[in-house]
Copies of this chain bind each other. A is one copy, B any other.
Amino acid sequence: MIPDDEFIRDPHVPGPTKLEVRCLVMCLAGLRGHEVAVDVGCGTGGITLELAERASRVYAIDRDPRAISITGRNLEKHGLGDNVSLMNLDAVEALEGLGEIDLAVIGGNGGELRRILELASERLRDGGRIIVTAILLETKYEALRCLRDLGFEVGITEVSVSRGRMLDRGTMMVAQNPISIIYTL
């Protein structure tokens, strides 16, 4: 995994998803080398770069040009990107233009979660998987609901991570915000 502080950042773009969460997403994704993955809302590229190392082809979608730019720079910095298509489009539009996929990771939705999940699910090959990362209560709820409406069995895992900060007087645990991962089974 790529350490959090090895991502170039843009103050206007969220991410990268914290290492521990990227790690869990990748575990749950179980990507194999020949598979095709989509990163919806690529932000800083936290997930895109991990997918790039594991999939045959990655579509990284973000409607914010700054996200596309910073993801591009992070791919380059880490010598990745040959198998990545950056798409500066709204998720719905971008997904409509795609063919079959094996994995969709949804890290941003802008209120279009239901439509995004529908489109992703329509493009899913046999054995394909959808993963939503959610920091909003509403996203958790809607992801569960929409994926069920689409006929999936769904799991949800919530992770709270704290990392030790080494102070002179001792080791203080510093909490990261809890994040939920909703995934099809």
- Report which A residues bind B (CB closer than 8 A): 1, 19-20, 23-24, 26-27, 30, 110-111, 135-141, 144, 154-164, 166-167, 169-178
Contact = CB atoms under 8 A, between A and B. Distances in A.
B137 A141 contact: yes
Contacts of A140: 137, 141
A23, A169, A171 interface centre (most CB from chain B within 10 Å): A171
Given A24-B24, A170-B139, A178-B173, A156 B163 contact: yes
B157 A177 contact: no
B160 A164 contact: no
Given A161-B157, A163-B157, A177-B172, A1 B27 contact: yes
B169 A111 contact: yes
B175 A176 contact: yes
A132 B30 CA distance: 25
A144 B136 CA distance: 13
Given A1-B30, A160-B159, A173 B20 contact: no
B173 A137 contact: yes
11 contacts: A111-B169, A137-B140, A137-B171, A137-B172, A138-B170, A158-B164, A158-B178, A174-B177, A175-B175, A175-B176, A175-B177
A173 B161 contact: no
A175 B135 CA distance: 11
B158 A159 contact: no
10 closest Cβ pairs, A-B complex: A136-B170, A156-B164, A23-B27, A175-B175, A138-B170, A141-B141, A137-B171, A160-B160, A1-B27, A175-B177
